[in-house]
Structure 1
Amino acid sequence: MKKLLYISLILLIATNSVVGQKKNRQNIKLLKTAFITNAITLKPVEAEKFWPVYNQYTNKIQQLKVDLENSKTQEFKNSGGIDSLSESDAQKVLDQYLLYEKEVYETKISMIKDLSTIISAHQIIKLQKAERDFNKRMLQEYGRRKRMGQ
């Protein structure tokens, strides 16, 4: 009985942790949406067309980055760590990295082309700046919270 209670408690804690992370991601996404909307002064009509396109491309870019990290991690595990990689395996990892980077680059070009039919070039430049500024603020906030022990 105690064992079952202990296992249930561990599952409850693990579930809360996962749910909390998901909620934090959603909150960050909402903050980013508000930040970008404000930064590029989207009108409601523009926003209606902008966000589905923007989200589609940013999700694809994020998935490419996750795939790259998973691929590298798996390669490192298979070889026993970075220091154990043979030169040919290291070259494979680099080649894979370049392919992913090229695909991210091409995805960003497609996104800009598609967005240029919805918003102005001026707004696209503001979008790029807003993304950098948002990421910078997020890192600053993370550092501040880490220093404060949160």
Structure 2
Amino acid sequence: MKKLITLLVVLFSIVSIAQPSKEKIEKVKALKVAYITKELSLTSAEAEKFWPIYNAYDEKQFELRHNKLKTIMKKYKDDGLDKLNDKEAATILSEMETIDEQLVALRKKFNKDAKEVVGAKKVLQLKKVEEDFTRSLFKQYKGRKQ
């Protein structure tokens, strides 16, 4: 009975720890949407068309970067960089270059699609706004840690 209770407590702890992180991610996304919408002065018509394009781009970008990192980290864990031979290292570099090319193509497609919705100026401003948001988020996080 004690083992069962201990197991349940551990499971509930894990679930309760995992939930806030999901909620925090959603909260950050909502803050990002509000921040970008405000800073770019998106009209409701622009926002309605812009956000599906941006969200698809953002998800694909995350997926590509995650896969790139996952490939590299797997090699670190499995073999360690010191144990890689030149052929294995070349394969990893090739994979990284392919992902980088996909990221560039993705950004070009996003720029083209977004430019049709919000115009070139706002697409250009977006990069700075994204960086400002990230910087602001880090400052807030750093302030809470201290």
TM-score normalised by length of structure 2: 0.93
In structure 2, the gaps of 5 or more residues are: none
- Following TM superposition, by how much is the alpha carbon of 1:142 offset from its aligned partner in structure 2, in angstroms? 2.3
Counterpart in the other structure of 2:77: 77
Counterpart in the other structure of 2:143: 144
CA deviation profile, 1:6-57 (whole Å, cap 9, x unmatched)? 1111111111111111101000000100010011000001111000011011
Counterpart in the other structure of 1:87: 86
TM-score normalised by length of structure 1: 0.91
- Following TM superposition, by how much is the alpha carbon of 1:139 offset from its aligned partner in structure 2, in angstroms? 1.9
Q: Distance in 2 between matches of 1:35 and 1:15?
A: 30
Q: Distance in 2 between matches of 1:83 and 1:16?
A: 40
Give the total of aligned pairs: 146
Identity of aligned residues (%): 29
How is 1:1-150 mapped onto 2 (pairs within 5 angstroms)?
1-79=1-79, 81-146=80-145, 148=146
Q: Distance in 2 between matches of 1:15 and 1:84?
A: 38
Q: Distance in 1 between matches of 2:83 and 2:143?
A: 37
Q: Which moved more, 1:94-103 or 1:84-93?
A: 84-93
Name the SS for the 1:117 alignment partner: helix
In structure 1, the gaps of 5 or more residues are: none
Q: Which moved more, 1:93-102 or 1:103-112?
A: 93-102
Q: Which moved more, 1:24-33 or 1:87-96?
A: 87-96
Change (3 A) 1:35 1:97: same
**1:76–1:85 contact (8 Å) kept in structure 2:** no
Q: Distance in 1 between matches of 2:19 and 2:47?
A: 29
Amino acid at match of 2:104: Y
